[in-house]
């Protein structure tokens, strides 16, 4: 990242940002995110739709770093729905305990694996209805799997995206459901999958929930 170049961009565009219209703001945000994050690798280690599903489920109220530390051992013995379904809840829990909420998560991983084997031939379904019917799988988890595993356009809303959308004046920020609707309305559908990851990366690097310095934030400093 060329900080000097980015700062020159800030100085040049600052007066413009003060009076810009919503669509112009969106274009500016997109330009900055594309400059900072041209590539958007998925932060959670996985090898297919099933391992991504489990990793995303584990990431609830946990960090990607902590999840990535436990999944190699978990996937070594439970890398498919069939193998995972044969593990005991205790076996799963003993491995995932560091990520937190292990009692509930281990039960859900065991249960959803059994359902995948019985109802879907061991494969992860590629539609929201079936995904959200699985234990422990909410709309956000299903959206991540749909977008990153199957390539369907979706806009998963996590705490970073919810926070940024409110700070940037793109959503009322009342709840994640409203934030998702607002962002889907404002940004082109073909950008959703990449933009979701770009906003997560930006939130972690420049726009944290605590200790946020608006003057040093490449986007917040412009509004």
- Catalytically annotated residues: 140, 158
Which tokens in the block code for residue 32?
Answer: 């900055």
Other C-beta atoms lying within 10 Å of the C-beta of residue 7: 11
Q: Tell me the Cα Rg of the chain.
A: 19
- Asked if 136 and 126 count as a contact pair (C-beta separation under 8 A), the reply is no
Choose among 146, 134, 148, 139: nearest CA to 200: 148
Choose among 102, 207, 193: nearest CA to 143: 193
Task: Measure the CA–CA gap between 179 and 191, rounded to whole angstroms.
Answer: 16
Q: Is 98 helix (H, G, I), strand (E, B) or coil?
A: helix
**Rounded to the nearest 10 degrees, what angle do helices 102-120 and 89-96 cross at?**
130
- Asked if 50 and 116 count as a contact pair (C-beta separation under 8 A), the reply is yes
């Amino acid at each position: 990242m060329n900080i000097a170049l980015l700062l020159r961009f800030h100085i040049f565009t600052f007066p413009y940002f003060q009076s810009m219209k919503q669509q112009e703001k969106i274009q500016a945000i997109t330009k900055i995110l594309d400059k900072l994050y041209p590539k958007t690798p998925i932060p959670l280690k996985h090898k297919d739709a099933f391992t991504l599903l489990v990793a995303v489920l584990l990431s609830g109220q946990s960090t990607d770093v902590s999840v990535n530390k436990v999944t190699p051992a978990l996937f070594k013995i439970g890398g498919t729905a069939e193998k995972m379904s044969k593990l005991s809840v205790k076996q799963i829990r003993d491995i995932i305990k560091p990520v937190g909420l292990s009692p509930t998560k281990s039960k859900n991983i065991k249960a959803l694996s059994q359902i995948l084997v019985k109802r879907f031939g061991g494969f992860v379904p590629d539609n929201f209805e079936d995904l959200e019917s699985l234990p422990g799988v909410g709309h956000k988890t299903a959206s991540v799997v749909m977008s990153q595993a199957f390539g369907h356009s979706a806009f998963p809303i996590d705490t970073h995206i919810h926070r940024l959308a409110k700070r940037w004046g793109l959503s009322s920020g009342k709840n994640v459901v409203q934030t998702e609707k607002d962002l889907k309305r404002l940004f082109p559908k073909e950008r959703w999958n990449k933009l979701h990851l770009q906003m997560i990366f930006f939130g972690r690097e420049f726009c944290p929930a605590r200790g946020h310095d608006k003057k040093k934030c490449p986007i917040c400093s412009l509004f």
